């Protein structure tokens, strides 16, 4: 597959066209943003770690019946994926209270839920990704009722697979964000990334944070946390 012109540059990735209209190449950057874009920085080695970890997890999910956009890893930073139009919803699953959930409801972090929660944010930078429930999404034609139900079932399935997998590495999956995309024929697949940028990971023994919260909260040890997650996954 031949890499052609850049078609998009986001906060953490660039996307390139290829010689086949059904595929694009994503290229992961070391750039990091947080706090609604206010905080900017770089995390050395992050691009390669997020690329490799995402691809490993996408393959694991495919094996467990979750359709994804993954096609082929090209090198440390670049991967061929199916071209999708992203459903403009950030789908957030939580197993344990943290982050904006803890803040919104005035509770401490670390409360283990009896069953996972799901919420949607409308992907819109100007509006700062407002919370959106399924009725809002249907009213605004962001997705149909059937698509929302399907996305919800896939998201909970992803949670079951990933929760069990990470626990086997001594890591608690606290919460994470997913994005879904539509292929040309309307099929919905899991897209975007699954990495320490988009998941909260706590060490199962010590509750040490092994994710982007170390960057968001200026805790130090950011690169080491990403490297530690890389070692847990790839040995
Ligand atoms: N998340 C993300 N992108 C976003 C917002 C959240 O990947 O734009 C992830 C985040 O890493 C965490 C989960 O979604 O694993 C829940 O995030 P939360 O709503 O608590 O927001 P935050 O506290 O990160 O602002």
What phi and psi values does residue 183 have, to the nearest 5 degrees?
Answer: -75, 170
Asked if 14 contacts 8 with a C-beta cutoff of 8 angstroms, the reply is yes
Which residue out of 198, 219, 222, 226 has the highest number of ligand 1 atoms within 8 Å of its CB and is therefore the one to mutate? 198
Q: Whose CA is nearest to atom 23 of ligand 1?
A: 99
Per residue in 146-168, pLDDT (tens digit) is: 999 999 999 999 999 999 999 99
Which residue out of 35, 86, 91, 92 has the highest number of ligand 1 atoms within 8 Å of its CB and is therefore the one to mutate? 92
Q: Whose CA is nearest to atom 25 of ligand 1?
A: 100
Question: Tell me, what's the pLDDT at 233?
Answer: 98
SS3 138: helix
> How far is the C-alpha of 177 from the C-alpha of 104, rounded, in Å?
17
Question: Tell me, what's the pLDDT at 171?
Answer: 99
Per residue in 103-149, pLDDT (tens digit) is: 999 999 999 999 999 999 999 999 999 999 999 999 999 999 999 99
Of all atoms in ligand 1, which is nearest to the CA of residue 35? 25
Q: Which fold has domain 3-82?
A: Phosphorylase Kinase; domain 1 (3.30.200)
Q: Assign domain 85-221 to a CATH class.
A: alpha beta
Measured distance between the N- and C-terminal CA atoms of the chain, rounded to whole angstroms: 30
Is any ligand 1 atom within 6 A of the Cβ of residue 28?
A: no
| Gyration radius from the chain CA atoms | 17
**Nearest in space to 24 (alpha carbons), one of 184, 223, 229, 211:** 184
> How far is the C-alpha of 200 from the C-alpha of 95, rounded, in Å?
10
- Whole-number Å distance, alpha carbon 24 to ligand 1 midpoint, is 26
The Cα-based distances of 215 to 2, 14, 62, 224 in angstroms read 35, 21, 30, 11
> How far is the C-alpha of 212 from the C-alpha of 68, rounded, in Å?
24
Q: Is this prediction's pTM over 0.85? A: yes
Is any ligand 1 atom within 6 A of the Cβ of residue 99?
A: yes
> How far is the C-alpha of 63 from the C-alpha of 70, rounded, in Å?
12
Q: Whose CA is nearest to atom 21 of ligand 1?
A: 100
Domains of the chain, residue spans: 3-82, 85-221
Question: Tell me, what's the pLDDT at 39?
Answer: 97
């Amino acid at each position: 597959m031949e890499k052609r012109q850049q078609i998009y540059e986001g906060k953490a990735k660039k996307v390139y066209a290829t010689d086949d209209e059904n595929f694009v190449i994503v290229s992961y950057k070391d750039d990091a943003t947080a706090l609604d874009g206010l905080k900017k920085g770089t995390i050395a080695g992050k691009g390669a770690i997020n690329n490799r970890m995402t691809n490993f997890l996408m393959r694991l999910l495919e094996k467990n019946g979750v359709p994804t956009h993954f096609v082929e890893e090209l090198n440390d930073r670049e991967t061929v994926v199916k071209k999708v139009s992203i459903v403009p919803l950030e789908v957030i699953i939580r197993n344990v209270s943290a982050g904006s959930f803890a803040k919104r409801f005035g509770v401490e972090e670390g409360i283990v839920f009896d069953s996972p929660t799901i919420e949607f944010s409308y992907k819109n930078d100007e509006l700062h990704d407002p919370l959106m429930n399924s009725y809002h999404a249907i009213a605004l034609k962001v997705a149909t009722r059937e698509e929302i139900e399907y996305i919800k079932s896939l998201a909970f399935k992803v949670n079951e697979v990933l929760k069990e997998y990470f626990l086997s590495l001594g890591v608690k999956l606290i919460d994470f964000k997913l994005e879904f995309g539509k292929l040309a024929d309307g099929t919905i697949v899991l897209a975007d990334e699954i990495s320490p940028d988009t998941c909260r990971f706590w060490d199962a023994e010590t509750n040490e944070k092994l994710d982007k919260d170390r960057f968001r909260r200026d805790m130090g040890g950011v690169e080491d946390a990403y490297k530690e997650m890389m070692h847990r996954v790839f040995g």
